[in-house]
Every structure is written in structure tokens, then in C-alpha cells.
Amino acid sequence: MGAMFLGRESLCRIKNFVIDLDGVVYLLDTPIKENIEFLQFLRSQGVRIAFLSNNTFLPREGYVAKLQRMGVEAEVSEVFTSAYVTANYLAKKVPRGRVYAIGEEGLKEELRRVGLRLVFRLTPQGVDFVVVGLDRHCTFQKLKTALDFLLGGAELIGTNPDPTYPTESGVIPGAGAILAALERASGKRAHVIGKPSPDILLFLLEAMGFQREETAIVGDRIDTDVLLGKNCGVFTILVLTGVAKREEAHSSPVQPDVVVNTLQDLKALVGRR
């Protein structure tokens, strides 16, 4: 079955593409060749690109290196992750705040860079924030420490609500699964910074100087990428190379403007300028 287009004319006016990473550019460490070729085509057409990911595994330059190894041109200034935006949000809210983080090194590094102080064990002073990202080494002890801090008054912050994360061998539990456990145990509702919260895309649009009416967001999830675009009034493109399936696109109450099997399906339209 071919591409499903609901907004051909609008797509022709797009000057900026906001591209998800996992499920769009690659599956963990496996490049998605057809989509990467389309990104190379966009660059050749003078279209501006920014990358937006809920993933928190690496600091921004780590994603730049990963993209470049796969043949994708990228600069650090074009990469926005939920870890990076969360760190900037928290540093503005409580400069040099104390943080207990469940997540991998990319999240912790972004928090350190903005002057936030990481705490690794229970202390009498407590912390200002418990920050949750995807942690493939999450343990019961980490959850217990986070819960103790939350019950002591810390604010619960989610880098993203993704329940799963796509890999070459199928999905694994995502940051949202860890977040849900802490919400249930603490009775607190997390403030989520990453997709589909408007916080993350509004930060990107301002940083890049993108106008909403000239911008499209591309992703593989309706519940994060497409919903984020709808929340912010930008054009939405769902690509079926990651989590979402065509049946979900047909039945979802949140409808993307365009659904494609791969981004190559967009080439003729984007080139028609």
C-alpha cells in the first residue's frame, strides 16, 4: 500500500523539517537507508533540518557523531534531545538545583553541563528534582531511592513519556514505564518535558528560528510525534519505519497530515518547489 496524503498543498510550503531519530533515521544502531537518503535529498534542496529525540542515551555531540557515521549531515546546534531541553528547563527553574536522575550517561551529562548537582544516594538535604529517562540498568534500589526523594518533597520530572523504545529485535520498556511506576508509588504526577509536551518543540522552534506554518515534524509515533505537532500547530508526517503501523494511523483519533511507508515517498512533493 502506498503513501496516504492528507495535505499535499501544505507540504509544498514546508521549509523546515524536524526529524525524530529512533524509528526514523535508525533502529538503535541500524540505519534506515531509505529515510537517510531522503534527508540527504532535503539538504540538497536547501531545506533546513533539526533533529528532535526523546532519547536520552547520549549527549548531543554523541548523536551528531552517530548520525555522521550513518552518512547524515548534522551539527550540534541542530540536535535537540529531551535530556538537553529538560536540563535547560530545570537550570532556569532552580539554578544549581539538586537532582536525582534515573537514566543513562547522556541524561546525566546534560544535567551536569548546565550546573545542576547530581545526587546518587539518599541524603538528609533531599533533592529539588527526581528526573526520569530511559535506563536500561534500572534497579529496584534506584526506584526506591527516587521514591524516598519524592516523598520527601522532590518534584517528579519526566524527560519523555514513551512506554516503549524500538530496537532491531523489537520494542523494550521505555522511560514512560519507569515514570509510571514512580507516579503510581508516589501519588505525584510528573511534569514531562519531552514529546508530546509542547515545551520541547517550542524550545526548538525558538532556538532554530523556525516559523510554525513553515515547519513539519516527522516521526514514527502517533502518541508523541504526531500529537506534539498537533499540540503546536505544525504539519505532521508519520513514517511507518518504527513503532506505528498503518492500521493505527487509520484508526487513531489523532490524525497525521501525511502517512508514508518511508520518507522516499515524500521526495516528489518536496522537490516540487
pLDDT in tens, 177-187: 999 999 999 99
Q: Is the pLDDT of residue 229 over 90?
A: yes
Q: Pinpoint the alpha helices (H) of 125-219.
A: 140-151, 175-186, 198-208
Residue 22: active-site member: yes
Predicted confidence (pLDDT) per residue in 43-64, tens digit: 998 999 999 999 899 999 999 9
Look at the chain and count its residues.
Answer: 273
Residue 61, amino acid: E
8 A C-beta contact, residue 132 and residue 158: yes
The DSSP secondary-structure symbol of 116 reads P
What number of other Cβ atoms are within 10 A of residue 40's Cβ? 11
DSSP-based three-state secondary structure for 122: coil
Q: Is the pLDDT of residue 3 over 60?
A: no
Per-residue pLDDT at 113: 97
User: Pick the catalytic residue: 20, 220, 223, 225?
Assistant: 20
DSSP-based three-state secondary structure for 253: coil
Predicted confidence (pLDDT) per residue in 205-223, tens digit: 999 999 999 999 999 999 9
Ordered structural domains, the chain, with CATH: 4-54+195-270 (3.40.50.1000), 94-192 (3.40.50.1000)
Q: Is the pLDDT of residue 8 over 60?
A: no
DSSP-based three-state secondary structure for 131: strand
Q: Is the pLDDT of residue 9 over 90?
A: no
Higher pLDDT, 28 or 43: 43
Per-residue pLDDT at 249: 80
How far apart CA 224 and CA 201 sit, in angstroms, is 11
User: Pick the catalytic residue: 22, 128, 220, 265?
Assistant: 22
